[in-house]
Structures are given as structure tokens and as C-alpha cells.
Amino acid sequence: MADFLTPQHEDFSKWYNEIVQKADLADYSPVRGCMVIKPYGYTLWEHIHDELDRRFKETGHVNAYFPLFIPMSFLEKEAEHVEGFAPELAVVTHGGGEELAEPLVVRPTSETIIGYMYSKWVQSYRDLPLLINQWANVVRWELRTRLFLRTAEFLWQEGHTAHATREEAVEETLRMLGVYADFAINEAAIPVLPGRKSESEKFAGAVTSYTIEAMMRDGKALQSGTSHFLGQNFARAFDIKFLDENNVQQFAWTTSWGLSTRMVGAIVMAHGDDQGLVLPPRLAPIQVVIVPIWRKEEERVAVLEAARALRQRLQRVCRVHLDDRDTASAGWKFNDWEMRGVPLRLELGPRDITHGTVMAARRDQPGREGKTLLSSAEIEMTVPGLLTTIQQAIYQKALAFRDSHIYDVRTYAELQEAVETGFARAWWAGDREDEARIKEETRATIRCIPLEQPGGTGTCVYTGREAHEVALFGRAY
């Protein structure tokens, strides 16, 4: 099975497209640009959902749901917002066989409809802060699509909050960026770089946008989650006002933040290899797969009985699956589960039963190096620790790769060379026009201005002017 996967070094894009389908994550829809998320891929998304949702609730947020259809006039109330989304809008003009009095936009994001509702719900400072998240689908009419990374319809969560002061809203924006970074690092095992978006890369209608940027195995960047300080832009557009403690009417300060099924693509491209997926145990749909091995028919009954007993014991400590298919060889099953990225494979044969052992094979360490003989009697205690070790090893491998592909550059020529294989880190004092020229000449953009800065000043890599910030440049998905 793995033999038919295009090697990463040969064609990374082709490798990605193949692995998403071969590992049963998703398939193409009959509607151009859309995807069908298959059960294995959807279970991975469910685990992403659950871990994020837990974090949102721990930070005081509650879930709600808002309509899929948004009146066109709502988007037109915030000029920069509608201009930014206009090329991607799907618009409904007819319903029930009749032309609609006002066109309806299929939700590209929900700032406008939620802003309208907040204007009804917020009257006093006592109504604030308003901390709401929704899990939903959105539609953006993309011309160039790729499964999970960029599709016309995708799943995500979008948080929308309203606050009494600017300081509270800024604090919320950065808090949620931190939540995303914590999730990416500790659950997805992806080392992300938190930072501020440049003016030309920020969200349409935002005052300031923040991002977590991840590096994929081909050296390209993937924007993996964003958090936006919207200031009072949407509050003014939708009249979100409240009486403060001095009985003075004020406009609220709002934020929005989102993470989508693009994170599935990030996990694939940050960890996968030429054998298939490499899934972090904390999010993997199946953490442990048991593969029983027998040669003779008389061995089959005893091996399967022992394998079922092993599964029952492990069900208390991990997500475990027993592959008892009798239509495929053990070797074929090994390749199949390697393709699907299951973190730990347990092999059980007649000799193992006799000696009270189980052979464990780590997905993150292919070959003999990743194999360990475990005591069957202690399996419930051993496996959780081994899964934790695998989680940490996957993260450290991704971190080492990223750090070895970030280049500190001083000249524009060095920047041009660096973005061929990774990120360029450089002093920056340019403007929108400078960014546009760099993008045209190198196909790289400012991925973010990292929150962690070296301090001091330097010379801008492009303009030669004095710079007070370092920016990260890279080619992106």
C-alpha cells in the first residue's frame, strides 16, 4: 500500500493529495472545490474540536449558533470587510422559486450577523463581556482548492466577543492566540510561531490580526489559526452600544478568532512521511492497533482470543482497535496502519502468548529502531507512557526541522534564497508596496511579526531603513 505513495522529495504536493485519500481522511465532492470528510478524517476533526472546545469553556466562553444566510446589506455596512470578502462570496438570489427582495450571502464568516445580534443583546456594561463561540461551516468561493487546506466549504469554529474597554478586548485577542498555540503544541505536536500579521495580510475589517504560523515538511508556511482585535469597527457599523458605569453611552470593543479543518492538513504535512500519516497520539482516531499473527489455522483461535483479551484491557487506557480481518496478511495490515498513521502497533503471535510478551512498533520510528518487546502483564501501565513518549518525540522532530529551516538573513538576496527551502527572519521597516513587490518577486509574504522580538534596532532587509521589528517571511499554502 505504502509503495504507491509518491515520495515527499519527488513531489510534495502530489504526496499530500495522495495521502489524504489513501489514508481515508477525505475524498472529492461532485461539487467543484468541496470535499467529503470520511469517518477517519472526521474523527480526527472531532478530537480537534473536543480539545479546543474544552479550552474555550475553561476560559469562560459558551457555544451558540447563528444563521448560515446573511443579508447582503450586513456585509456592506463595514466597507473594508465587504471589499476583502467580495471575490469569495456565494450569493443566493432566489428562494422558493421567487427572486429574493434582498440577496443573501452564504456565511463566509459571521462578524456581521453576530454584530447585529450583539447590538440587540448589549445595553449596559453589565451585559459585558459577551464571550460566544460557534462551531459551523463557512463558504468561500475559492478558485484553487486543495483538500482540507483550501476548499469552497470548510468546518471551523469562530469566537466572537464584545468588551467594555479596549484593554479587555486586546487581552482577549492575545489570550485566544495563546489558546491556539497551546493546542497546536500540546495536542497536534506542531511547533507554531505566534505573531502579528502585517497590514496587508490582516483580516478585512480588523485593527490588528494575530496568527500562529506552522512550517510544513516542504518548508512552506501554513496559517493555522488567527485571532483578531476588531476595535470598534464592527460595533460602529452595527451599533453595538452600552451605557457605562457613569451612564455614558459607549461603543463596545470586539474580537473574533477562528481555527478550521485546515488544522487536519497541518497535521498531515507537519508529521507525515513516505509511508503515510504520522499522527500525534493525543489526537489520533486510533492510538493503538493490535495485529494478531498466525500461520496455521489451529493457532488462529488462541491468538484471536488473546488479542481480544488484550484489547479489552487496553480499552480502559487508550483508543484501541483490533484488526482481526482474515482477508489480509499481517504485512499488508502493517502497511495499512502505517499509512493511517496509528501511533503504536502491537503484534501478537503464538510465541508472544507463550512468553507473555507483545511486540510494540512505534509509527514515528519505522523499522527495527521503533520496535520494543513489552510484557503483556504490564501492558496497561506501559502503553500510556509509550504514547506520551511518541507524542513528545513527534513534536521534537517537527521543532528540530522547523528551527533548522529558519534562516536569519541580512540582505534581500539572502532572503530570496532562504524562502526557497524555509523561512527568512529579517529586520523589517517596509510598507504595503514593499510587501507587494517582495511577493511578486519571491512568491513569499510576511507570515508574521513574531511576538518574541530580539529588541534593539537593525537595518531593514528590503528598504535599508532603520527597523525596530523582525519579520518572518515564507511561501505559504
Q: What is the pLDDT along the chain (477 residues), one digit of tens a residue?
A: 445 899 999 999 999 999 999 999 999 999 999 999 999 999 999 999 999 999 999 999 999 999 999 999 998 887 777 787 888 999 999 999 999 999 999 999 999 999 999 999 999 999 999 999 999 999 999 888 999 999 999 999 999 999 999 999 999 999 999 999 999 999 999 999 999 999 999 998 999 999 999 999 999 999 999 999 999 999 999 999 999 999 999 999 999 999 999 999 999 999 999 999 999 999 999 999 999 999 888 899 999 999 999 999 999 999 999 999 988 999 999 999 999 999 999 999 999 999 999 999 999 998 888 999 999 999 999 999 999 999 999 999 999 999 999 999 999 999 999 999 999 999 999 999 999 999 999 999 999 999 999 999 999 999 999 999 999 999 999
Query: Are 255 and 340 members of one domain?
Result: no
Domain end among 354, 387, 420: 387
Q: Is residue 306 part of a domain?
A: yes
Alpha carbons 424 and 427: distance in angstroms, whole number: 10
Query: Are 195 and 241 members of one domain?
Result: yes
Query: Are 332 and 440 members of one domain?
Result: no
Query: Are 8 and 155 members of one domain?
Result: yes
pTM reported for the whole predicted model: 0.96
CB atoms within 10 A of CB 411: 12
Query: What single letter denotes the amino acid at residue 77?
Result: K
Domain end among 357, 387, 417: 387
Query: Are 351 and 422 members of one domain?
Result: no
* DSSP-based three-state secondary structure for 266: helix
Query: Are 265 and 372 members of one domain?
Result: no
| Residue 144, burial from CB neighbour count under 10 angstroms (0-12, 13-18, 19+) | exposed
Q: Is residue 256 part of a domain?
A: yes
CB atoms within 10 A of CB 467: 20
Q: Is residue 278 part of a domain?
A: no
Query: Are 265 and 300 members of one domain?
Result: no
Q: Is residue 467 part of a domain?
A: yes
Is the distance from CB of 372 to CB of 382 less than 8 angstroms?
no
Q: What is the dihedral of CA 121, 124, 127, 130, to 10 degrees?
A: 70
Query: Are 333 and 184 members of one domain?
Result: no
| DSSP assignment of 209-250 | EEEEEEE-TTS-EEEEEEEEEEETHHHHHHT-EEE-TTS-EE
Q: Is residue 393 part of a domain?
A: no
Q: Which three cell numbers stand for residue 174?
A: 492575545
pLDDT at 85: 82
Q: Which three cell numbers stand for residue 73?
A: 446589506
pLDDT at 86: 83
Alpha carbons 214 and 196: distance in angstroms, whole number: 14
Q: Are strands 91-95 and 130-139 parallel, antiparallel or unpaired?
A: unpaired
Select from 229, 193, 228, 188 the least CA-distant residue to 212. Answer: 193
Q: Which three cell numbers stand for residue 142?
A: 475559492
pLDDT at 144: 87
Q: What is the pLDDT of residues 77-112, one digit of tens each?
A: 877 777 878 889 999 999 999 999 999 999 999 999
pLDDT at 258: 98
Query: Are 234 and 374 members of one domain?
Result: no
Query: Are 228 and 166 members of one domain?
Result: yes
Q: Is residue 276 part of a domain?
A: no
Range of the domain at 417: 406-474
- What is the CATH classification number for the domain harbouring 15? 3.30.930.10
Q: Is residue 249 part of a domain?
A: yes
Query: Are 177 and 323 members of one domain?
Result: no
Query: Are 299 and 373 members of one domain?
Result: yes
pLDDT at 366: 86
Hey, which residues does 426 pair with through a beta bridge?
471
Q: Is residue 142 part of a domain?
A: yes
- What is the CATH classification number for the domain harbouring 383? 3.40.50.800
pLDDT at 2: 44
